[in-house]
Structure 1
Amino acid sequence: MDVKSAFLNGFIEEEVYVRQPPGFESARFPDRVYKLRKALYEFLLKSGFVMGSVDKTLFLLSRGGDTSIVRIYVDDIIFGGSSHALVSSFAEQMSREFEMSLMGELQFFLGLQIKQGLKGTFVHQAKYTRNILKKFNMGDSKPMTTPMSTNTVLDADEDGEAVDQKEFRGMIGSLLYLTATRPDIQFAVCLCAHYQASPRTSHRQAVKRIFRYLKFTPELGLWYSLGSSLFLRGFSDADHAGCQIDRKSTSGTCQLLGTSLVSWSSRKQASVSLSTTEAEYIAAASCCSQILWMKATLSDFVLRFGKIPLLVDSTSAISVAKNPVLHSRTKHIDVRFHFLRDHYEKGDIDLVHVASGNQLADIFTKPLEFGAFVRLRGWRCVDNALIKGEIESQWIGLIALLV
């Protein structure tokens, strides 16, 4: 459902004012503010919906054993439910109250293409991928099988030839948006993004390598199986002192609901880790934080989880988290990361050792050789009828080791 106006619905009693957005100030009244006259959230609450406790753009309505779910993004609304009658009733109610356009079954949203079938849902950005390949003149480039070579070592390259900063930033920005459905390029894109301030030829070549990989795999996306059981788990890994400039480590984490990848991250740590154990410990703390947020969010859907497994391939990091006594190996670790230990003791998470070869988060911390990369990426087949024969039968989900 698309709303014709961004400021919506049902008149509100409170006086609410909105500052003029930077760059869009009125020439006649630059010092004035907008008075908000309508609010969609207020209308939904009066209609019996309950706002999500964590995500305030999520609204749920339970009626007669059926549930309706509404998600709002500015002036776009995604809604669905367990009953056709409940969904139709909501659509009619909204159309009567506001000026809206019903877009039909969800197929395209914020640049994401969604294909729904009897076995599950396939989310991808194939059209967007083709567009950016054409935009940056990479449509006829030679395909590559991985986004980054294992021999690639990027640094500031101050003696290298400078390249067009505007073009480089445009390429990085386009690729960052693509990571919404392409976790396989997350690490490579984030690494190249570090050099936007002063890009060199070597940095542009690394970015072009990512585009050449997209040329090889333009149709990959995320597969969410209908038959997947709903259990939550997380994976965390770290590449100690991987950054060539400041020797900071890279944390890689991912979270799966059943066999479906729902969240992932590849991020340089804020401080320099003095050991591999510390780097792994900090990465696990980051993963724990995301798991707790997801656990709270899923509680709005009446999904309850006990002790959630967090899989780490460092026995030393697990030992540090399970040991409540500070000693010489841990006293220098920032205290904010020790909440991992607290939540282990509370029983919110269970730290479990996983062999390095089975660590799914490894793909978010370093370049991998082709065999390991493809195995972690998780090649599988998708019913061609589901995707209308437009793409090859392959998708990624980082679930090859869990199916």
Structure 2
Amino acid sequence: MKQPQGYENGTNKVCQLKRSIYGLKQAPRCWNKRNEHGFKVSNAAPCLFIRERDGQKLIIGIYVDDGIVAGTDSRELEVFIGELKSEFKIVSKNADYFLGIEIQQEEAFTKIHQKTYAEKCLERFNMSDCKPVSTPMLKDEETSTSGKVNKAIQFPYRQAVGALMYLMLGTRPDLAYSV
């Protein structure tokens, strides 16, 4: 990091930052240490924060610089978002998409899915025209133990497995067996 313009005097001085720099691996830790709104880290995930006050619950999910907020009281949500807006430059809108997961809010329930992501994966791996089957794997498939690789088949296997694992962890736990 360089000294600000106008402060250079030829010496090798060090600057102390009073905030985190976007993109550094320490940035999420700075956010966690900065918790000024009474949230506690969830036991389920280190990026999930919960605050219970006066019988009302507020939940925040954070991933790098993206976040999603849910609560039991809409007024409490509005107050909290107002507090965030006074501290940060944020965009507040209805949650219909977050980290590749689509969110559909209905009167009686909330549905989450990754249909668009799954379709993009099928296109990416040239499988848009594949036929669905009722079982995730062939019943009598023999696995090769010889270690020989068929050079004629060039497929980005690791990328496909990673994409399927993202689906599996997000909204499709049924894929776990076949992945």
- The separation in 2 between residues aligned to 1:170 and 1:156, in whole angstroms, is 22
Among candidates 64, 79, 83, match of residue 74 of structure 1? 64
Q: 1:150 to 1:113 in 2, by over 3 A?
A: same
Q: Which amino acid aligns with 1:134?
A: E
Q: Say if 2:133 is the partner of 1:140.
A: no
Q: How does 1:27-38 map to 2 (within 5 A)?
A: none
Residue identity (%): 29
Q: Say if 2:70 is the partner of 1:87.
A: no
Residue by residue over 1:311-369, the C-alpha shift from the partner in whole angstroms, topping out at 9 and shown as x without a partner, is xxxxxxxxxxxxxxxxxxxxxxxxxxxxxxxxxxxxxxxxxxxxxxxxxxxxxxxxxxx
Match of 1:101?
Answer: 91
Q: Say if 2:39 is the partner of 1:49.
A: yes
Among candidates 16, 27, 30, match of residue 39 of structure 1? 30
Q: Which amino acid aligns with 1:110?
A: L
Unaligned stretches of 5+ in structure 2? 1-17
Q: CA deviation at 1:157?
A: 4.5
Match of 1:64?
Answer: 54
Match of 2:175?
Answer: 185
- The separation in 1 between residues aligned to 2:32 and 2:47, in whole angstroms, is 8
Q: Which amino acid aligns with 1:71?
A: G
Match of 1:171?
Answer: 160
Match of 2:106?
Answer: 117
CA RMSD of aligned residues (A): 3.0
Give TM-score scaled by structure 1 length. 0.35
Give TM-score scaled by structure 2 length. 0.73
- The separation in 1 between residues aligned to 2:147 and 2:45, in whole angstroms, is 44
- The separation in 1 between residues aligned to 2:146 and 2:113, in whole angstroms, is 35
Q: How does 1:244-323 map to 2 (within 5 A)?
A: none
Match of 1:378?
Answer: none
Q: Which amino acid aligns with 2:119?
A: R
- The separation in 2 between residues aligned to 1:39 and 1:53, in whole angstroms, is 19
3-state DSSP of counterpart to 1:179: helix
Q: 1:158 to 1:70 in 2, by over 3 A?
A: closer
Which deviates the most, 122-131 or 133-142? Answer: 133-142
Residue by residue over 1:171-217, the C-alpha shift from the partner in whole angstroms, topping out at 9 and shown as x without a partner, is 2222222212222222112xxxxxxxxxxxxxxxxxxxxxxxxxxxx
Structure of higher RCO (CA pairs closer than 8 Å, 6+ residues apart): 1
Residue by residue over 1:230-261, the C-alpha shift from the partner in whole angstroms, topping out at 9 and shown as x without a partner, is xxxxxxxxxxxxxxxxxxxxxxxxxxxxxxxx
Q: 1:63 to 1:176 in 2, by over 3 A?
A: closer
Larger strand percent:
1
Q: Say if 2:171 is the partner of 1:155.
A: no
Q: 1:171 to 1:57 in 2, by over 3 A?
A: closer
Unaligned stretches of 5+ in structure 1? 1-10, 22-33, 190-403
Q: CA deviation at 1:121?
A: 2.2
Q: CA deviation at 1:114?
A: 1.6
Larger helix percent:
1
How many residue pairs align between the two structures? Answer: 159
Q: 1:169 to 1:65 in 2, by over 3 A?
A: closer
